[in-house]
Amino acid sequence: MPRTTTRKLKRFEIEKRVRRNQAKGTAPDAEVPAERPLSAEETEWLEQADVKRALKAIRDGTTNKADSIRPTDNLELDLGLDSMQRIELLVALEKELGGDVEESRISEIYTVRELVDVVRESAASGKHGAPRAQFAGWKAILEEEPSDPEVLALAEPRPIAEHFWYGVSRVAQMIARDRFELQVAGLERIPQRGPVILCSNHQSFLDPAILGSLLPWEVFRNTFSVGTSEIFGSGLMRMLAGWLRVVVVDPDANLIPAMRAGAFGLRHGRALILYPEGERSIDGKPKSFKKGAAILSVHTHAPLVPIAIAGFHEAWPRGKRFQGFAPLKMKFGDPIYPPAETEASEAAYDRLTTELRERVLRMWQELREGTAETRAIATAAD
């Protein structure tokens, strides 16, 4: 499978390969070849008692292929597990089999067998450190103070850099309104004080720059985000990340440090710009949302501000060059306030994530259809 430098699957490249193969003449209703029969060695592995216990835990943690999990199944493509779900599954296996797998090894695990075997090896080695923090829930993880200097710097004010980049952002806003005919609705709904999580659907590289250019001073000066090392890993982009308070932590390979960085910034009253889809949309439509925003919201008491964007995909679609100036729209919704931390649970995270996505999806549809509110904003801009 094609992967990035951080070993993340290139879903867009995979989709292109599939479409290319389909174009070669494979009929949509063609019979799919049967799966390769299990080898004798794989069958023997599946019959081991601790493996059976592990597979039961995996079935309980996924709804995909629950009745036919194979040793070679890919955790992401076959079981549909994102980085956060892989962490939670690892915790469940450690609880079932024992062991204490180092967090750095998580990014090296791709298949069911690799996951089960790494936990079995850890348990067999007698490595039983303190119970992993997840056993006490995300609260314990997020309360642990980070040691990364980049994260700790979030607590420090930088008035000169803040004023400089605020000026740059106003110029960017003027360009966006002139060349992209940018229309904006609901900006006044962003809380001006305290921690807040700004959650938008994600379409292009333009998204964060345009969003930042619209934020009022009291919010802009406190913004930060977590960026992937694939983009901000070196050179000028790394320097830019430092100037703009972008903490460079790849969320797929290092989910827990990324979550801790988000919680640290929010505890210091900052505004986190976060894209719950975790990646740019291939076709411009909002995809499924990961629950990281909900977890951070519940445990830091930060409201979620749903944001919908439209037109950005047409200007700069994923996997292509900048296509030219296209009309852009952005709409901010009313803040969604989290339940009390005492009510934290997987069900609570799921409910909050569902509400957030439904709000964003509804506003995105309104932007595409041109509701009365967005037409009024456009008229005012003219």
The string of DSSP letters for 228-276 reads -HHHHSSHHHHHHHHHTTEEE--TTT-HHHHHHHHHHHHHTT-EEEE-T
User: Has residue 88 got a pLDDT over 50?
Assistant: yes
User: Has residue 109 got a pLDDT over 90?
Assistant: no
Do 307 and 247 reside in the same domain of the chain?
yes
Task: Find the CATH number of the domain harbouring 256.
Answer: 3.40.1130.10
Between 216-220, 228-232, 248-252, the lowest mean confidence (pLDDT) is in 248-252
Residues written for the chain? 382
Q: Which of residues 21 and 362 earns the better pLDDT score?
A: 362
Question: In 3D, which of 180, 218, 214 has the Cα closest to residue 200?
Answer: 214
Do 329 and 228 reside in the same domain of the chain?
yes
Q: Are the C-beta atoms of 260 and 13 separated by less than 8 Å?
A: no
Do 171 and 117 reside in the same domain of the chain?
no
User: For residue 135, what pLDDT band results from cuts at 50, 70 and 90?
Assistant: very low
For β-strands 304-310 and 329-332, DSSP reports them as antiparallel
Q: What is the mean pLDDT of residues 89-115?
A: 85
Residue 17 in any domain: the answer is no
Instruction: Give dist(CA 325, CA 316) in Å, integer.
Output: 9
Do 152 and 63 reside in the same domain of the chain?
no
User: Has residue 63 got a pLDDT over 90?
Assistant: no
User: For residue 133, what pLDDT band results from cuts at 50, 70 and 90?
Assistant: very low
Do 293 and 326 reside in the same domain of the chain?
yes
pLDDT at residue 55, rounded to an integer: 93
For residue 167, what are the domain limits? 142-381
Residue 44 in any domain: the answer is yes
Residue 1 in any domain: the answer is no
Residue 152 in any domain: the answer is yes
Q: Are the C-beta atoms of 152 and 146 separated by less than 8 Å?
A: yes
Query: Measured at the alpha carbon of residue 203, what is the angle toward residues 201 and 208, in degrees to the nearest 5?
Result: 75
Report the number of distinct structural domains present in the chain: 2
pLDDT at residue 76, rounded to an integer: 80
- Per-residue pLDDT reduced to its tens digit, 11-20: 655 665 666 5
pLDDT at residue 3, rounded to an integer: 57
Do 243 and 151 reside in the same domain of the chain?
yes
Do 231 and 113 reside in the same domain of the chain?
no
Residue 8 in any domain: the answer is no
Residue 97 in any domain: the answer is yes
Do 147 and 126 reside in the same domain of the chain?
no
Q: What letter would DSSP give residue 336?
A: B
Region for residue 69 given its phi and psi (left: phi exceeds 0; alpha: psi -120 to 50; beta: otherwise): beta
Instruction: Give dist(CA 95, CA 88) in Å, integer.
Output: 11
- Per-residue pLDDT reduced to its tens digit, 22-62: 665 655 444 445 567 889 999 999 999 999 999 999 988 77
Do 280 and 223 reside in the same domain of the chain?
yes
Do 178 and 112 reside in the same domain of the chain?
no
Residue 3: strand pairing partners: 9
- Per-residue pLDDT reduced to its tens digit, 301-340: 999 999 999 999 999 999 999 999 999 999 999 999 999 9
Residue 20 in any domain: the answer is no
Do 94 and 167 reside in the same domain of the chain?
no
Q: Which of residues 272 and 230 earns the better pLDDT score?
A: 272
CA distances from 343 to 53, 128, 143, 148, 189 (A): 30, 30, 17, 30, 26
Do 123 and 148 reside in the same domain of the chain?
no
Question: In 3D, which of 230, 205, 226, 200 has the Cα closest to residue 107?
Answer: 230
Q: Are the C-beta atoms of 356 and 276 separated by less than 8 Å?
A: yes
Put simply, whether the predicted model's pTM sits higher than 0.85 gets the answer no
